[in-house]
Amino acid sequence: MDATSPRPVVLVTGASAGIGDAIARRFAAGGYDIVAVARRKDRLEQLAADLAGIARVQILGGDVSVPGIPAQAVDLALETFGRLDCLVNNAGSGKWAPVHETDDATLDEVIDTSMKAPFRFCRAAIPKMGPGSSVINVGSVFGTLGGLDGGIYCAVKAGLVGLTQTMAAQYGAQGIRTNLVAPGVIKTDMTREAWNAQGFQRLNHEMTPFNREGTPEDVANAIFFLASDQGSYINGQTIALDGGWSTTKYLCLEALTCDRVAT
Ligand SMILES: NC(=O)c1ccc[n+]([C@@H]2O[C@H](COP(=O)([O-])OP(=O)(O)OC[C@H]3O[C@@H](n4cnc5c(N)ncnc54)[C@H](OP(=O)(O)O)[C@@H]3O)[C@@H](O)[C@H]2O)c1
């Protein structure tokens, strides 16, 4: 083991793409060393190469739903850097189907990847974290509002809100904060196909007060803020990152002037 690193350390799951990749890069720019976990090791190796000279990156190629992986990742942080300051539970399954079309294999996959795995990462990490550290779970606005066809995806994201709140109560007194970010629809591999549909684009563009799409970097910036001293009194919160989509009844003027006949 290194002597305890003078730099803070973040463990990011799902760092091989999309939002997780942006989180790793944001924390590296903010002075953290990184433990990056995902199945696609080649992508993690590329991330580590990109960040050479900026941050030290330890990678763990593996499936977060395998029960031993969370403790292995936490041990890697401790063995390499001697500390763990922030855990970001970002990896998640994007399986999306209505309840009546969800088979047991899908049910198990989403629960294992997006609920059991974050729980196990928290369980492994918390005993190793000290005052001033924090956990950030990546949920979804569809976990706080529900959503057509959301099925088990919405259910597990709602479950993460409950996990966040109980951890905030349980570990807050030790100075360990737990929060959740709930992105709206962000253009990543998970949503790329949906974005190709004109109806999906309209749904998002016309109901979002901001006249732009959210980016992985928007989510990463908020997570970095929550982990930082600037966020040091924020605990047990769900922060929506959706340009106001979920908290307003916004509809753009163009949509309002469309003809639609009620039936
Ligand atoms: N994009 C959105 O609109 C949106 C909105 C709300 C919430 N979210 C949430 O944001 C998080 C990141 O999503 P994203 O949009 O960035 O998706 P993405 O581009 O598809 O990336 C998903 C990441 O999770 C990892 N992952 C998935 N299953 C895994 C498993 N079993 N074991 C290890 N790693 C796994 C993937 O890595 P490997 O494939 O290499 O394993 C990848 O790094 C998810 O929790 C998602 O539910 C996304």
CA dihedral for 159, 164, 167, 169, sign (positive or negative):
negative
Q: What does the pLDDT read at residue 25?
A: 99
At residue 3, the pLDDT reads: 66
Residue 5 has a pLDDT of 84
- Reply yes or no on whether the pLDDT at 94 is more than 90: yes
Residue among 32, 153, 171, 233 flagged as catalytic: 153
Give me ligand 1 centre to Cα 1, in Å.
Answer: 30
Choosing from 156, 190, 191, 241 the residue with most ligand 1 atoms within 8 A of its CB, the one to mutate for a pocket test is: 190
CATH fold of 9-187+214-243 reads: Rossmann fold (3.40.50)
Q: Which helix (H) or strand (E) holds 239?
A: strand 238-241
**Dihedrals phi, psi of 9, to nearest 5 degrees:** -130, 135
Instruction: Give the Å distance between the CA of 261 and the centre of ligand 1.
Output: 39
Model confidence band, residue 2 (pLDDT cutoffs 50, 70, 90): low
According to the model, what pLDDT value does residue 225 have? 98
What was the pLDDT predicted at 85?
98
Residue 14 has pLDDT above 50, yes or no: yes
> For residue 243, what are its two tokens?
């340009």
The reported pTM is 0.97
Q: What is the pLDDT of residue 259?
A: 80
Pairing of strands 134-138, 33-38: unpaired
In whole angstroms, what is the distance from residue 139 CA to residue 155 CA?
Answer: 10
**Alpha helix positions (H), 10-68:** 18-29, 41-50
* Residue 190 CA to ligand 1 centre (angstroms): 7
pLDDT at position 261 over 80: no
Give the pLDDT score at 1.
47
User: Ligand 1: which residues within 6 Å by Cβ?
Assistant: 14, 16-20, 38-40, 43, 63-65, 90-94, 113, 138, 140, 183, 185-186, 188-191
The backbone torsions φ and ψ at residue 38, rounded to the nearest 5 degrees and listed phi first, read -175, 170
Q: Which residue's CA is the nearest one to ligand 1's atom 45?
A: 92
Residue 153 falls in the annotated catalytic set: yes
Instruction: Name the one residue in this structure whose structure tokens are 């997006």.
Output: 114
Torsion of CA 140, 119, 227, 235, to 10 degrees: 80
Express each pLDDT in 145-188 by its tens digit: 999 999 999 999 999 999 999 999 999 999 999 999 999 999 99
State the helix-helix crossing angle for 18-29 and 41-50, rounded to 10 degrees. 30
What whole-number distance in Å separates Cα of residue 152 and Cα of residue 158? 10
In this prediction, residues 36-42 reach a mean pLDDT of 98
The answer to whether 35 touches 80, Cβ cutoff 8 Å, is yes
- Residue type for position 35: V
Q: Which of 45-59, 84-98, 158-172, 246-260 has the lowest mean pLDDT?
A: 246-260
In 3D space, the residue among 153, 25, 164 whose CA is nearest the CA of residue 98 turns out to be 153
| Mean pLDDT along residues 200-223 | 96
Q: Taking all residues of the chain, what is their mean pLDDT, rounded to a whole number?
A: 96
| Domain regions of the chain by residue span | 9-187+214-243
CA distances from 15 to 12, 37, 122 (A): 6, 6, 17
Tokens of 58: 């330890």
Given a cut of 80, whether residue 262 has pLDDT beyond it is: no
**Identity of the amino acid at 177:** R
Which neighbouring-strand residues pair with 35? 11, 58
Average pLDDT over every residue of 110-121? 98
Q: How many CB atoms lie within 10 A of CB 38?
A: 24
Q: What percent of the chain has pLDDT over 90?
A: 94
Strand partners, 10: 34, 86
Ligand 1 mutation pick, 19, 95, 195, 245, max ligand atoms within 8 A of CB: 19
Atom of ligand 1 nearest to the CA of 153: 47
- Of all protein residues, whose CA lies closest to atom 41 belonging to ligand 1? 39
